[in-house]
Amino acid sequence: MSRTALWKSIASSLRTEIAEGHYRPGDKLPTEAELALRFGVNRHTVRRALSEMAETGLVHSRRGSGVFINAKPTEYPIGRRVRFHQNLQAAGQTPERKILRIETRLANTREADALALSQQDEVHVYEGVSSADGAPLALFRSVFPAARFPLLPKALQETGSVTAALASVGVADYTRSSTRLTAKLATPTQALHLRIAEGAPILRTVSVNVDATLQPVEYGITWFAGDRISLTVSPE
């Protein structure tokens, strides 16, 4: 037997073909028998591949009909230790991140509240867009206490990653202390970045992350494209 399972490479092939547009949402895949013939394997091996693709929400099967490409939004689990890109990788997609802005300015009321600062204090603000497979999924704004992390902007610029940047300034681990969620309508600017229609539904999450000593280290607001994402809250 080869080192990589056959069913994994079959799933990978099919994923690539779907990503390349050979199959579109709603399309029917070839039958299990046909796929087995094409890949030169047993039908059960194809089924194992399709089973995994169904688990990750890529396809769904209808007995008697066939296997169909899902138009279903990607799921994004949130919990105590949410790391956006790690989660997307787990879902088998390719995460990308575009930096829109990194700046340092005075905190506004809400930011000061959330980070336990006064409004005289400065904060670093990091804004960007997260995408998967070329489709923008989320617009985010992360706010950090500037006094505590003077070198953070440089680290953000270099890594693009909040987790990596915080690690580089001494915050090895952090946890989400709370998340608030609500539904909103996309503003023109948000719609532009997320490539959705103005007025389309978006899911806004507001969260505070704290370090091991429970000091707030990040205040984050994320706007998800409502039709491309759903959040999963599950026990860990």
Q: Which residues bind its own copies (CB under 8 A)?
A: 55, 57, 72-80, 82, 87, 175-185, 199-203, 224, 226-227, 229-236
Q: Choose the contact partner of 7 out of DNA, its own copies, none; CB within 5 to 8 A by kind.
A: DNA
Q: Report the C-alpha gap between 83 and 231 in whole angstroms.
A: 13
Q: How far is the CB of 151 from its own copies (least distance, A)?
A: 29
At which residue do the structure tokens 């990091």 appear? 126
Site for DNA in 60-89 (CB under 7 A): 61-67
47 part of the interface to DNA, by CB under 7 A: yes
Smallest separation (angstroms) from its own copies to the CB of 231: 4
Angstrom CA distances, 91 to 48, 75, 77, 123, 151, stand at 17, 8, 10, 33, 32
Give me the residues paired with residue 142 across strands: 126, 220
DSSP 150-191: TTHHHHHHHH--HHHHHHHTT----EEEEEEEEEEE--HHHH
29 in contact with DNA (CB under 7 A): yes
Q: How far is the CB of 97 from its own copies (least distance, A)?
A: 22
Q: Which residues of this chain interact with DNA, rule CB under 7 A?
A: 1-3, 5-8, 29, 31-33, 40-42, 44-45, 47-48, 50, 61-67, 118-120
